[in-house]
Every structure is written in C-alpha cells, then in structure tokens.
Amino acid sequence: MRTALLQSSGRPGSTVENLRVLDEAAGRAAAGGAGLLVTSELFLTGYAIGDDIGRLAEPADGDAAGAVAKTATRHGLAVAYGYPERAGESVFNSVQLISADGARLANYRKTHLFGCFEHDHFVPGEQPVVQAELNGLTVGLMICYDVEFPENVRAHALAGTDLLLVPTAQMHPFQFVAESVVPVRAFENQMYVAYVNRVGREGEFEFVGLSVLAGPDGTARARAGRAEELVLADADPAFLAASREANPYLKDRRPGLYGSLA
C-alpha cells in the first residue's frame, strides 16, 4: 500500500485552515497513487497552543471527523490524523483512522504523555494496541513518545500489526529517535513504521521533521528533510512476509524469562 507522510505543522490554532491543508495534501497523495495519508501529532489544531487545546478539542465523531471523512471519500484514500479528542471532561491526545469510504476505522489515545505540557493538558489513554484492517494490511496506531517504549511496539508485533502509524511532534534535540530508533523498532519487530513529524518552530518547541517510513529490514523507504514535505513510499506485504520468514526475532523469543519486565 502506497503511504503518504504529510510532514507539516499546518496552521496552529486553526482547525479550519488545517482541514484545508489536509484536503490539498490528500489530493496530491492520491495523485501519487497513495491509499493512505498520515499526518503529524495534533495536526488538526496545532501542538503548542496552550489552553486552546481544550477549546478546540472535539469528540471522535465530531464536526472535524466528518470533514476528514469527506476529504477521504473525495480523494479516495484513507486518512490517519492527529487531534485533541474530548470525551466528557477529559481531553486525550488522539489519532483517528478514516477509511477511503469515510468510515471511522479506529481511534487511539496516546498512552505515554511527554513532558509537563502534555501532562497539563491531556489524560493518558489506557489501550496500548489499537488496530484496523486496511487494504490487506493490519494497521496499528500509536503517537510519538509511545514508540520510544520497546514494550509498546512489541505488543503490536505480537498482535500482528503490519504497518504502525505514528503521528509525532519530535523536537530538538531528540532527532536521533527519527534517525535511529524508529528504523530499529521496525527491524526488531518486523513491521513497517510510518513516523510522521511536525516541522519548524512552534511556541517553545522546535520540531525537527525527518519523517520516515521504515521497513522491516531497518531501512528508510522514504525520508523527509527539515521542511514541510509530502513523501510517499510503499508498504509491501510480500516483502514483509519474506522478511518475517528470514528474521527469527519473534520466533526465538523466550517469554518465560521476561516476567520481571512486568
């Protein structure tokens, strides 16, 4: 499945403008043959927008979700987008996957919050593995800091995730995560990982870009630079199957020795 990574911070503070940016990118992604478009973390609202996070947060089935569904059907591709999700009095840092026919396939709430900013504005999610079937692949959802915990990604591997989508807001000086950690996660867990970052300065943060689609062989199938960019690459089920057959990591595990990890 050709996957498009939208490396962009959009227009922080304006959901309307970010929906426009998303629609334009979806058109370019579809023209390039993509079946899936993935955005950065909190793309619909912006990340460093302070208390506006709560003001702009919407339910998973809110107006913004409806607008994304229209974009997906108009361009004929699935969309995974980051947004602040309101559920009663709680606000979650979430990513939602919408199919090409506009159906809501899966919604994930970030389980590992990073830094004071996120702890001040969000409640952590409690479901570590969220998946959906899309174009013959089992797609998993995760957000930014979550991927830095090997237990998280291994749980997805054991649950059969083929392509892990990770909207992110990776900031300076932690660019080694995009450059090194993410390809290693893909290799050690035998999956594709689409890690899609924000870019540029936003409030007190400087986002480093470097979005990547990493393959199960640990290589970058597509790599963005440090500017706003749309990159495309394929998550190939046949290559994934061959890689899993050749790589013994998951088969050679000895879970009985790992009790202390829990």
Element (DSSP H or E) covering residue 92: strand 90-98
Nearest to 25 by CA among 47, 45, 3: 3
Pair 75, 178: CB distance under 8 Å: no
116 an active-site residue?
no
Residue of 41, 58, 118, 202 with catalytic role: 41
Residue of 58, 85, 118, 144 with catalytic role: 144
Residue of 85, 110, 118, 202 with catalytic role: 110
Q: Are strands 212-214 and 90-98 parallel, antiparallel or unpaired?
A: unpaired
The CA distances from residue 180 to 84, 175, 176, 211, 214, in Å, are 28, 9, 5, 12, 10
DSSP string for 121-144: H-PPP----EEEEETTEEEEE--G
- Please, which residues have CB within 8 angstroms of residue 231's CB and are 6 or more apart in sequence? 4, 5, 7, 211, 213, 222, 223, 224
The CA distances from residue 67 to 63, 71, 94, 102, in Å, are 6, 6, 17, 9
Which residues are part of the catalytic machinery? 41, 110, 144
